[in-house]
A and B are shown apart, each in its own frame.
Chain A
Amino acid sequence: MNTALCMLAAANPVGHVTDKPINGQWYVSNVTVMLVLSGIATLWLLIPAAKRITTGKSGSIDDLRTRGVLANMVESVCLYLRDEVFRPVLGDETDRYVPVLWSFFWFILISNLLGLVPILDITAALGLNDFHGTPVGIGGTATQSIWVTGTLAVIAFVFINGTAIIKDPIGFLKHLTAGAPVFMWPIMVPVELIGMIVKPVALALRLFANMTGGHIIVATLLGFVVSLSTALGGVSGHGLAIVPLIGTIVIYFLEIMVAFIQAYIFTFLTCLFLGQLVVHAHDDHEHDESHGGEHAAAH
């Protein structure tokens, strides 16, 4: 029974995705390490790609050619986001805001994808110890922490509302009334304010829940593999373990897709919220539609 409990504790899938301090100090935890790694990976990917994407000055047709597979991939993604996702919302002002939106997308994507690399398990298997001699695994997913996704959402909130206020303070205040008659303002203004707060909360929770949920499912299925193999043993135990193993592989592929989708959704919704405030071509009808789109995306 003791053995079983030990196994249960070791295979706790939620424990697999929770942040842990390294060396007993929270300022160096799995999440902070993965944040720094994600930042370095993002810069390492994009800066060399940018050098290959930018155009030369020689005047020949070769100046316009993007060189290298990686640079072409980065360019395709950036171009798609700019032309197909941001431009329909932001119109002529797209290029002004696109650097921030690209930053959100690439940083979140790389954080999500790095979380799928089992760095935690590899470092744990290597038997790394902290300064106190306690075994420690370093890794995980930066975006599976509500603190991280919350911070990203707060930055998005500041970016969206700060841009809107700087660009058109009166328009921003008018937006709070949603174009309603004055007697409706006592209702509309609080509703709009609540909506304003709910948007980043939704951004944070969506990303956090998706990344955490996916990793818990993977950890749970892997727990099934271990528990079935260990508890039953033999041909039957290992044979039955194949079923959750296949499930894990399938979910892993799904997680790769989710990593892209969540980065896309976070960026797209940030763009949409920004567009609602800074692009004043919207009339009330479009306003309603964009709220509809937001709800649809939330689902």
Chain B
Amino acid sequence: MQAMRFHLALVYTALLAGPAAAAEGANPFVGTIYQAIAAAVVFVTVMVVLKKAAWGKILQGLQDRENRIKHDLDQAEASAKQAEKTLAEYQKLLANAQEEARSMMESCRADAKKVSAELKDQAQTEIDQARQRATEEIQWAKENAVNEVHAQAAELATNVAGKILRRQINAQDQQQFVNEALAELGKGLN
């Protein structure tokens, strides 16, 4: 019984979309001109009402937004271009400043080198002069010392000679002896 009911159900379901569709009153094309008239009246009415009450406002809204977005984009583009230009100017200024700083540094370095060289030269000159002075002083001191040695030697020789001769000699004699002794001593040294 159960199996028979199952088969019956399958037959019903298989038949549903078949002959039943062709049964009287089940024609999907059924209708009259009234539906067409109703469709035309309703659609045209809806279209006209919407044209008056909705589409104009919506279109206006879309166009205003579009224009505003376009305006904002144009403005943003102009600002970007301006910013780019300003950046380029600043970069140029910065590059100039860097170049100037570099040239200033080079100039300073050159000046420093020059000053250093001058100071060095000056110092060298002073050193040379000091050395020269020292050499001259040494020479002078040497000559003085030699002269003093000569004078003392002469005096000593005179005294020795006076003692030997046991006689009193005057200043003129002494001077003569000194000169002679110096001349001899000079020869001896040379």
Binding site for B on A (CB under 8 A): 4, 7-9, 11-15, 17-19, 26-27, 29, 31-32, 35-36, 38-39, 42-43, 46-47, 49-51, 53-55, 63-64, 66, 74-75, 78-79, 82, 95, 98-100, 102-103, 106-107, 142, 144-148, 150-152, 154-155, 212, 216, 220, 223-224, 227-228, 231-233, 236-237
- The number of inter-chain residue pairs (CB within 8 angstroms) is 196
Contact between A18 and B27, CB atoms less than 8 A apart: yes
With both chains docked as a complex, state the minimum distance between the C-beta of A113 and any C-beta of chain B, in angstroms.
15
List residues of B (1-57) whose CB comes within 8 Å of A's CBs. Answer: 2, 5-6, 8-9, 12-13, 15-17, 20-21, 23, 25-36, 38-40, 42-47, 49-51, 53-57
Indicate whether A12 sits within 8 Å of B59 (C-beta atoms), given known contacts A50-B53, A151-B43.
Answer: no
Contact between A19 and B30, CB atoms less than 8 A apart: yes
Contact between B57 and A95, CB atoms less than 8 A apart: no
Contact between B40 and A47, CB atoms less than 8 A apart: no
Contact between B64 and A46, CB atoms less than 8 A apart: no
Indicate whether A64 sits within 8 Å of B65 (C-beta atoms), given known contacts A14-B20, A35-B39.
Answer: yes
Contact between A146 and B31, CB atoms less than 8 A apart: yes
Interface residue B186 (Cβ < 8 Å from any Cβ of A): no
Contact between B16 and A102, CB atoms less than 8 A apart: no
Secondary structure at chain B's binding surface: helix, strand, loop or mixed? helix
Interface residue B68 (Cβ < 8 Å from any Cβ of A): yes
Which residue of B38, B54, B68 is within 8 Å of A35 (Cβ)?
A: B38
Secondary structure at chain A's binding surface: helix, strand, loop or mixed? helix
Task: Give the docked Cα–Cα distance between A154 and B37 (Å).
Answer: 12
Q: Please name all residues of chain B whose beta carbon is closer than 8 Å to the beta carbon of A42 when the two chains form the complex.
A: 46, 50
Contact between B16 and A12, CB atoms less than 8 A apart: yes
Which residue of B5, B12, B26, B58 is within 8 Å of A75 (Cβ)?
A: B58
Contact between A102 and B15, CB atoms less than 8 A apart: no
Q: Please name all residues of chain B whose beta carbon is closer than 8 Å to the beta carbon of A18 when the two chains form the complex.
A: 25-28, 30
> Which chain B residue lies CB-closest to A223?
B16
Task: Give the docked Cα–Cα distance between A46 and B35 (Å).
Answer: 24
Interface residue B147 (Cβ < 8 Å from any Cβ of A): no
Contact between B39 and A151, CB atoms less than 8 A apart: yes
Task: Give the docked Cα–Cα distance between A228 and B13 (Å).
Answer: 8
Contact between B54 and A55, CB atoms less than 8 A apart: no
Contact between B50 and A227, CB atoms less than 8 A apart: no
Interface residue B124 (Cβ < 8 Å from any Cβ of A): no
Interface residue B162 (Cβ < 8 Å from any Cβ of A): no
The contact string, 1 if C-beta is below 8 Å from chain A, for chain B 136-179, is 00000000000000000000000000000000000000000000
Q: Please name all residues of chain A whose beta carbon is closer than 8 Å to the beta carbon of B23 when the two chains form the complex.
A: 9, 12, 14-15
Contact between A150 and B36, CB atoms less than 8 A apart: yes
Contact between B28 and A144, CB atoms less than 8 A apart: yes
Task: Give the docked Cα–Cα distance between A260 and B32 (Å).
Answer: 27
Contact between A11 and B60, CB atoms less than 8 A apart: no
Task: Give the docked Cα–Cα distance between A272 and B34 (Å).
Answer: 30
With both chains docked as a complex, state the minimum distance between the C-beta of A136 and any C-beta of chain B, in angstroms.
14
Contact between A55 and B65, CB atoms less than 8 A apart: yes
